[in-house]
Amino acid sequence: MKIVCVYRDERYSPNYVEKDRAILDAVGEKLREKGCQVTFVREAELSGIDADACLSMARSARALQIERESGVWCVNAPEGVALCCRRISLDQLMRAEKVAMPPLQGSNGCWLKRGDSSTETRGDVVFCATEADEQKALAAFRERGISEVVRSAHVEGDVVKFYGVGDGQLFRCYYPSDDGISKFGDECRNGSSHHYAFDERQLKEEVCRLARAVGVQVYGGDCVVRADGSFAIIDFNDWPSFSRCREEAATAIASLIIHLSPISSKVNSKSVNSKYKNVNIQGDASGIV
């Protein structure tokens, strides 16, 4: 089988360029061991796809359009990636699907995220302790030309990072405060983990349900586990670095590709929630300011 692997552009990997590259390299090596012909290309250099399958960490509109037009089966599907990247649309889907997530309002401050793209710089996700902080942050977004912002209440509890492949073939959870691995250190807002007891199986089911609704098969994110064991998913992304379980994840992803490769690209695109699959830079959603 001939497979093209697309590296993520550096602007979409803030502080994680090497780790994002490492997971794709690891998957490629696993596939070569299985007899696949694997080539790699940078996202900015992608001009067409001549292969049986495409493993893509790309996020730019240009690259996703090339993937769509190629008709080649892609993991992740470009429609699902576009939905993950457009935070307003993702927030809208999560609330429509009644995913366990933070409320819009709360008494412990709030978080603002740029709504038109995935995180590219530290300033794309901002904590606001007061209303004055929120207005200042909104003004800063506007100065950068960002008019769409997603708002959610701050949730107190343990920050838990999760990684997933397929419909739960791999699902792992970790506490960022235990190992200190972080892109921007935002997890420190919740302090050291108390390791509150929670139902990991329930979290897995909820995350897998969200992944199916979005239409991605390689995914990750963060949630906050409250003292009572309930949780709220605060972030969800296409193809994370799997830095805490890279070897295990690479094996799972390679196995996924081998077993699902006969499926046509039509199946891949149909997995995306039809209400949200045609994501572009237009539209609005609940939770935006």
What pLDDT, on a 0 to 100 scale, did the predictor assign at position 261? Answer: 76
Written as one letter, the residue type at 86 is R
Q: pLDDT by residue (tens digit) across 11-21? A: 998 888 999 99
Q: pLDDT by residue (tens digit) across 178-232? A: 987 776 677 888 999 999 999 999 999 999 999 999 999 999 999 999 999 999 9
Angle between the 61-70 and 78-85 helix axes, to the nearest 10 degrees?
160
Q: Which two tokens mark 210?
A: 């969200």
Q: pLDDT by residue (tens digit) across 248-289? A: 999 999 999 998 875 333 334 444 454 544 454 233 333 444
- CA dist 276 and 42 (Å) reads 27
Q: Which two tokens mark 27?
A: 């998957």
Q: pLDDT by residue (tens digit) across 151-179? A: 999 999 999 999 999 999 999 999 999 98
Cβ 102 vs Cβ 112: under 8 Å: no
